[in-house]
Structure 1
Amino acid sequence: MNKLIAIFLCLFTLSFNGFASELKGVRIWPSPDSTRVVLDLTSAPVHDSFLLTGPDRIVVDINGPASKFDLTKIKNTSPLLKTIRTSTPKKKGTFRLVFDLHKATKPVIFSLTPTKPYGHRLVIDLPHNNIKSTKEVSAKKPVVPPSLNDQRDIVIAVDAGHGGDDPGALGKQTYEKHVTLAIAKRVAELINREKGMKAVLIRSGDYFVNLNKRSEIARKSQADLLISIHADGFHNPKPRGASVWVLSTRRANSEIGRWIEKHEEQSELLGGAGEVINKAEQDLFLTRTLLDMSMDHSMNTGYGVSVEVLKELGKVTTLHKKRPEHASLAVLKSPDIPSLLVEAGFITNRQEEVLLRNTSHQKKVANAVYAGVKRHFANNPPVGTYFAAIAAKSHVVQRGESLSVIAKRYGVSVNQLKLANQLKSDQLRVDQELKIPSS
């Protein structure tokens, strides 16, 4: 009988230890919209959590031994999270962590299975819930014909792939997320130097942005184009060369395309709460005709830009393929924003990993992306933009317009307009076509 009890206790202990997780590390990833806290654990966590107020805090109980990890050494720059500390749990065999907050939030808590270079993790996402009030302007402004300098900028959303707890593809010494951010920042810098163009960085630091949220950020910025910067990875070190990917309505038919899609699925899981269904796909069901037309325009524009970017990339690095490739990727699926994904090279190829780590090469890749984008929009400027205004060859006079108004709009003088059109007076007639001289 005693032997049976001893065996039972032994089995119970082994079973309990199978659900016990020891805390090995804590990482905090603040972003503009939320703070992600990642707990590194020795095994898959069994956990419970609840919220408390006065002051606001989150309590998380995890099955396992008391934590020996020094929580005072954690680097924390979050605007929402004050501190992480231990407390006494009510249940034996568990350890308790308390997350003290500056204000209340609704956390999203989920676990992740091991993915190189990380093991088992428990993730706590803390939305910042920042609500910025905007004042409505009720007074109507008089309608004034815009001058050349009043034309809107072409907005380019530049997305650095992966980030935070999602390292992306792994080289011998390099994480993809660091390479993509360095190149994306350089592309944005070049775009912002160009008159008539403006860049919006999807992420500006080492934090994760959910894949669907990336398109939302671009949309809120009224982007004309979304470029996602990546560095390829593969299961063997032989493939090399840069490539540009555009949306396919079918799964990729190449092995490398399927590999990229698999890595994006892993990134989607890192978003938490099962948020892996693209909102655009739901909308397509509701308003199929309009969105199909919009999607066709976006796909055609995205393909046109990708051709120009590939031409420029071919001048500074080896190309994996000389034509744009197709894959079904969430970051490309926005029906109203032309999108493309640039793979700067294979981080799993030793020679290209060395190049991708090199600042000079990163600048060359960024310059190529910028040059390709600029050439496309110079040849195909969106209506109402500065690029469209400077590309104008003629102007049809509208009712109420004068030479001075037209000259101001295109950034030329009245005398230049009169000389270009051999006008002897300032009189104009409606529907008269004027040649616009270069400014």
Structure 2
Amino acid sequence: MRRLLGVSGAAAVTLLSPRALAGTRITVKHVRLARHNGVTQVIFDLSGPVEHSLFALSKPERVVIDFKNAQVAGGMRVKPSAPVHGLRYARRGLNDLRVVLDLDKGSRPSSRLLKPQGGDGYRLVVDLAALSAATPAPVMTAAAAQSTTRLRDVVVAIDPGHGGVDPGAVGKRGTYEKNVVLAIARRLEALIKKTPGMQPYLIRRGDQYVSLRERLRKARAKKADLFISIHADASPYRYPKGSTVYVLSERGASSEAARLLAQRQNEVDRVAGVNLSTKDNLVASVLVDLAQTATRESSFKLGEHLTANINRVIRLHSRSVERAAFVVLKSPDIPSALVETAFISNPSEERLLRTPVFQQRMAVALHAGVADYFNRYAPSGTLLAARHRAVRALS
């Protein structure tokens, strides 16, 4: 690994004021880590001066840097070096860029925009000063982890689609979607109930109608760690067949963020444990955006595990995880996936959906996908997370 040098030192630099900066799109050309006087520095090489803001979050510890009117050239990677163990970035809105530094421990961030004398471009230097007991960080808590000493089960919300006056799709033989997906959901519930460290929660237990928003509300009230919605696909044609897994699209996430922000006066509107009604526009927007970004990433990982296991039971209609704006996928802080188990409009797959053998095999595949996901991403404070840490320590 080549040695990374700090910005402060022999080379003279000019410190820039944060007044109105050029409206030209700025490019982040490179990022690197350095240490100077015991302080870790994250140095961004830029094509020009950039407007930016930064703040810290805890549980888990991270620092968020927002670049206005900026983009990335190629990509950004850093070799982990304490306290930075990871770097993520994504487009924010149409023109802005958000960078998240994942940290091992809390830090007090500060930044300087520099113009090296005799050199090209600009540098943004983010200093990550270690916290002491006497200097707490100016942190907003996302409350994503529990601080209790008692380990808990993960909660899996199982949502059988449709129900009651809403039968869903109906096959040529008169098979109701609402009935077959409930049968699969009950079998999945039984499997999860037998799994140590997991607790199932069935959104509807019988043939009753539950609105889409009520399904989300019920899952969040139960503090679900995952949400699986089970459906049977349909087409006006007889030949489409196979299974598809969906997660929330970016457009769906944006519309849900706008809805949450517009209604945050409502005490119920909480994201990652934080009551939005107590936050101003900027803070509320940041909290929703961070929660949604993390949740969409987790949902896609869940979708990949589900797809891999379903493929052992039935051919896939779509081999990749698809994205759509289904309402039941819009919980901003619960990783969620919608599974179209088979085409009820296809005669052969309608027959499959009616059989207890296929229903059980599909439930086993969904259970395996959920188990595979939690093997990698069990939330802290849960029995599964503690068990996996112990296994890794012995290996």
The TM tier, using the shorter chain, reads 0.5 to 0.7
CA shift for structure 1 position 236: 1.1
Matched, 1:282 2:235: no
Partner of 1:373: 370
Match of 1:323 in 2: 320
| Aligned counterparts of 1:392 and 1:229: Cα–Cα separation in 2 | 31
One-letter code of the match for 1:162? H
CA distance in 2, matches of 1:436, 1:163: 46
Contact 1:308 1:372 in 2 (8 A): yes
Unaligned runs of 5+ in 1: 1-143, 252-277, 395-434
The letter for the 2-side match of 1:159 is: D
Q: Deviations over 1:172-205 (max 9, x none)?
A: 1201000110011111111111000000000000
- For the residue of structure 1 that corresponds to 2:251, the secondary structure is coil
- The match for 2:290 is 293
Map residues 165-244 of structure 1 onto 2, 5 A cutoff: 165-172=165-172, 173-244=174-245
- Name the SS of the counterpart of 1:341 in structure 2: strand
Identity %: 43
Q: Show the 5 A alignment for 1:30-41.
A: none
Secondary structure of 1:326's match? strand
- The structure-2 alpha-carbon separation of the partners of 1:193 and 1:296, relative to structure 1 and needing over 3 Å to count, comes to same
Aligned mates of 1:346, 1:247 — CA distance in 2: 21
Q: Does 1:336 align with 2:333?
A: yes
Mapped contact 1:284–1:292 kept (Cα < 8 A)? no
Give 1:392 shift: 1.5
Post-superposition offset of 1:387: 0.8
CA drift at 1:238: 1.3
Q: How does 1:68-83 map to 2 (within 5 A)?
A: none
Segments of 4+ moved more than 2 angstroms:
278-281, 284-287, 435-438
Residue 161 of structure 2 is matched in structure 1 by: 161
Give 1:284 deviation, angstroms: 3.6
Do the aligned partners of 2:244 and 2:339 also contact (CA within 8 Å) in 1? Answer: yes
Letter in 1 for 2:216: S
Q: Which residue of 2 aligns with 1:387?
A: 384
**Structure with more of its chain in strand, by fraction:** 2
* 1:251-271 Cα shifts (integer Å, max 9, x gaps): 7xxxxxxxxxxxxxxxxxxxx
Shift of 1:211: 0.2
Work out the number of aligned pairs and report it: 226
Runs of 5+ unmatched residues, structure 2: 1-146, 263-280
Aligned AA (2:260): D
Does the residue aligned with 1:344 lie in a helix, a strand or coil? strand
Query: Quick one: which amino acid aligns to residue 215 of structure 1?
Result: L
- Tell me the residue number matched to 2:353: 356
TM-score if structure 2 supplies the norm length? 0.55
1:9 maps to: none
2:177 alignment partner AA: E
Mark the structure with the bigger radius of gyration.
1
Question: What TM-score, normalized to structure 1?
Answer: 0.49
How far apart, CA to CA, are the structure 2 residues paired with 1:231 and 1:218? 21
Aligned-partner Cα distance in 2 for 1:329–1:195: 31
Aligned AA (1:212) = R
1:302 to 299, 302, 327: 299
Aligned to 1:430: none
- With over 3 angstroms needed to count, the CA separation of the structure-2 counterparts of 1:145 and 1:310, relative to structure 1, is closer
- The CA RMSD measured in Å over matched residues stands at 2.1
Is the 1:167–1:176 Cα contact (8 Å) retained in structure 2? yes
SS at match of 2:250: coil
Per the alignment, in what secondary structure is the counterpart of residue 342 of structure 1? Answer: strand
2:250 match: 249
1:114-153 superposed Cα distances (whole Å, 9 cap, x missing partner) = xxxxxxxxxxxxxxxxxxxxxxxxxxxxxx984xxx4110
What is the letter of the counterpart of residue 168 of structure 1?
Answer: G
- Aligned-partner Cα distance in 1 for 2:206–2:256: 25
